[in-house]
Amino acid sequence: MAKSSSKTQFQCGGCGRVTAKWVGKCSQCGEWNTVVQTVARAADTSTTASALDRVSRAVESFASERAHESPGRVGVSTPDVATSSAATYPTPDLPKSEVEDRNSAVELVRISTEGTSYMSSGIEELDRVLGGGLVAGSTTLLAGDPGIGKSTLLLQSAAAIANTGKTVLYATGEEALEQIRIRATRLGLKGDRVFMLGSGDALTIVDRVAELRPAVTIVDSIQTATHPDLDSPAGTISQIRECASFLSQIARAAHTALMLSGHVTKDGNIAGPRVLEHQVDAVLQMSGDKVGMLRMLHGVKNRFGPTDEIGVFEMRGEGLVGISDPSSVFIQQRESGSGLLSGSAVALVVEGTRSLAVEVQALATPSSLASPRRVANGVEISRVHMITAVLAKHMRLPVSNHDLVISVTGGLDVKEPAADLAIALAIASSLLDLPVKDTIAMAGEIGLSGELRSVTRV
């Protein structure tokens, strides 16, 4: 049996770049103090061949089953695992008349899209962000802070899909299966046809996929997934990269929709190599205040739908509940308050295909500093600087000697210029201590010469 060799190397925890010696700053991503020492070991040849043989048998089984279900279609061939140094997998099946091997070229119009329709996730707000639902063979990454509700959303989606008669495989390396059962009971989820796997081993997941043929496979989380051919621990750059690639290609071969949960760093970026976001088909990011009840789901990347859609949820005792009318939540406290307060205005903005009414609040206080502070939550600070400059120049408002704090309620990030007018009115309202009528909502872009420009998407 071949012995494995090892060598010491240094790898960046941000981008995965490998260097021969330690450096303080990564030359590829520019991050400081992210380079750590690792040990790279060559995998045992017999172990690698055994693992590839298991994968090859599973892939051939998937292709054979699909070819049997669609007699006019054929799966592409796979390489001989005995002579291959890396796992390779087939692409989605193509018409037999056009494709005889994986190196054949075929006209785009002749490629069959049979079996690639959208499948509902069972949660309306999640389907909205996905662009209609899950696609068989696709890989979706759901990222968010710890405790934000990723596992709850995935569990609710798994139960909803299973209620339609489909099989779901839920693999977890973070929690005991008993803990998940307790949470499912608390949320009122039955869990029929949801098969739980308390392992993050990639080959074990492949075996269960081959056995169960699930419509949806969930891995919670990709940071706890491991591949037996890699000696590095779970959560390292190499494990995350290889497991994501491995499971994604198996999902395409098995025609199962793969959903991965992922951690984020303290800066809000997805933990792991940057290539992880390129390996998957869709990246969804969940945000919100863990103390509060609102959760926002944003589409960062989506090969099958738009990336500007948002989903709004409220965390309740029965789990995450979708909010079909987010505007009622964003301005709820303003409507229920007694009397009108200065420094508040309602902006009309568009997120994806829905128009939202959001409250913009401003607080202006006299400053004793030479350079007054500008703080912005939910809006870009550059737009705040631009609007305050326009107010000082054309409205003669005393913004230069006041500290300004701008905030959008509900945790929504507003990036479009349609909110300029509401920001300006909120600042002026706070400076002059004059409230804006609660029956007025506004949308408009402010130009540098003080003119009001129309917006196109409201």
Question: Tokens standing for 196?
Answer: 């739980």
pLDDT > 90? residue 431: yes
115-324 against 337-453: fold identical: no
**CATH dotted code for 337-453:** 3.30.230.10
**CATH dotted code for 115-324:** 3.40.50.300
Counting beta carbons within 10 angstroms of the beta carbon of residue 162, is it exposed (0 to 12), middle (13 to 18) or buried (19 or more)?
A: buried
pLDDT-derived band at 76 (thresholds 50, 70, 90) equals very low
Structure confidence by residue, pLDDT tens digits, 98-137:
334 456 788 888 877 776 678 999 999 999 999 999 999 9
As a whole number, the mean pLDDT across the chain is 82
pLDDT > 70? residue 342: yes
Regarding pTM above 0.85, the answer is no
User: Span 73-82, mean pLDDT?
Assistant: 37
What pLDDT, on the 0 to 100 scale, is given for residue 5? Answer: 55
Higher pLDDT, 334 or 212: 212
Distance, CA of 242 to chain centre:
19
User: Span 33-52, mean pLDDT?
Assistant: 61
> Phi-psi category of 455—alpha, beta or left, where left has phi over 0 and alpha has psi -120 to 50?
beta
Q: What does DSSP say about strands 35-41 and 6-12: parallel, antiparallel, or unpaired? A: antiparallel
pLDDT-derived band at 72 (thresholds 50, 70, 90) equals very low
How far apart are the C-alpha atoms of 208 and 247, rounded to whole Å? 12
What pLDDT, on the 0 to 100 scale, is given for residue 366? Answer: 94
- Calculate what percentage of the chain has a pLDDT beyond 70: 80
Domain extent listing, the chain: 6-42, 115-324, 337-453
A 10 A CB-CB count for 72 gives 11
Q: How far is CA 178 from CA 183, 202, 261, 403, 409, in A?
A: 9, 21, 19, 52, 38
Structure confidence by residue, pLDDT tens digits, 226-237:
998 887 788 888
User: Span 83-105, mean pLDDT?
Assistant: 44
